[in-house]
Amino acid sequence: MNKNTIEENRTFRLYSLVNNLLKMKIQVSYLSHFGKVRKNNEDSLLVQDELISEANMEEPITKVLESDKLLLAVADGMGGHTKGEVASRKVLEILKDNSGKLDQKKQVQKTFNDARMVLNDIVKEDKKSLGLGTTVSGMFISPEKATIFSCGDSRVYRLNGNHLEKLTIDHSLVQGLYESGIIAEEEMRTHPQKNIITSSISGDMTNNKPLLSYREIIPQKGNVFLICTDGLWESMTALELYDCVTKEGISEKISSLKNKSLRNYGRDNISIIYVEILEI
């Protein structure tokens, strides 16, 4: 074996060692469901490279992922608008294609803006699609940091002691009422105008750029996150949400969330991603 080959082998072993040290081990469980009333599902969800759209899953998918970066997101095609499922799927496709750029605020905003332009292009080709749009929420995790992002009223939560901490800020009429002190936070989910959102990623042929809720955190071993559409969080109290997330068994947590949502409400599509950092 010549010197060059020996040096190449050493370099490869060193690269493999460093790469393995940087890899995270993250357990995920996810599900998307029609709900009790809807005949279709306008939600989509993304777990790394797997994009699920228009699904009616009775049981969650649970797996452990090992990677140096991980993208997770849900999108809720706007109810009552044409082709909501097209919008939610297309926006998550664009996020997936730009996943390497989602660790900076300006890049997330640019990706949202680019997605809006793509939806506008769809409308140009099919005028009946005017108004198609979607909310989105998600997170991009690397060993150094996690970026949390949303537009609309889909949410990201973190388990924090004896409660779930909301990491995103809704773009909705009821969020404004809550911030103004007119209603309590728990009233947001039952208010008559809870479905009025103030921003989304939409093909509306305007120059209105999507608003962005964004924050960065340092991910730690044992962190638990919940990413969901409004079909879930509007259907139960904060305590009920917490009780489901803290049940034994990861698949049982998701099944409990789905079943509780269907019993309590079930009028909207439901999409859920449960995330637990095992090693980082």
What number is the average pLDDT over the span 249-258? 95
pLDDT score of 219 = 97
pLDDT at residue 261 above 70? yes
158 and 242 in contact (C-beta within 8 Å)? no
- Cα(140)–Cα(244) distance, integer angstroms: 24
DSSP 155: E
3 state SS of 245: helix
What number is the average pLDDT over the span 26-50? 95
The phi, psi pair for 268, rounded to 5°, reads -115, 165
pLDDT score of 131 = 87
154 and 135 in contact (C-beta within 8 Å)? yes
Residue with the bigger pLDDT between 129 and 275: it is: 275
CB atoms within 10 A of CB 103: 17
3 state SS of 223: coil
pLDDT at residue 22 above 90? no
- Cα(82)–Cα(127) distance, integer angstroms: 10
CB atoms within 10 A of CB 147: 20
pLDDT score of 4 = 58
What is the set of domains in the chain, with CATH numbers?
24-279 (3.60.40.10)
**Token reading at 43:** 């939600």
Confidence tier at 2 by pLDDT (50, 70, 90): low
pLDDT (tens digit, 9 = 90+) per residue, 67-95? 999 999 999 998 555 689 999 999 999 99
Q: How many alpha carbons lie under 13 Å from residue 13 in its C-beta half-sphere?
A: 6
Q: How many alpha carbons lie under 13 Å from residue 264 in its C-beta half-sphere?
A: 18
Residues of the chain with pLDDT > 70, as a percent, come to 91
pLDDT at residue 17 above 50? no
pLDDT at residue 7 above 80? no
pLDDT score of 206 = 87
Task: Enumerate the β-bridge partners of residue 57.
Answer: none
pLDDT score of 21 = 58
Task: Enumerate the β-bridge partners of residue 273.
Answer: 30, 227
pLDDT score of 15 = 46
194 and 188 in contact (C-beta within 8 Å)? yes
The phi, psi pair for 48, rounded to 5°, reads 55, -110
Direct distance between the N- and C-terminal alpha carbons of the chain, in angstroms, rounded to an integer: 37
3 state SS of 127: helix
The burial of 127, by beta-carbon neighbours within 10 Å (0-12 exposed, 13-18 middle, 19 or more buried), is given as exposed
pLDDT (tens digit, 9 = 90+) per residue, 106-125? 999 999 999 999 999 999 99
pLDDT at residue 205 above 80? yes
pLDDT score of 52 = 98
- Cα(142)–Cα(129) distance, integer angstroms: 37
Mean pLDDT, the chain, rounded, equals 92
pLDDT score of 38 = 87
Q: Which of 21-30, 42-51, 159-168 has the lowest mean pLDDT?
A: 21-30
Q: Which of 140, 124, 275 is nearest to 217 (CA)?
A: 140
The phi, psi pair for 143, rounded to 5°, reads -60, -30
**Token reading at 234:** 């509007």
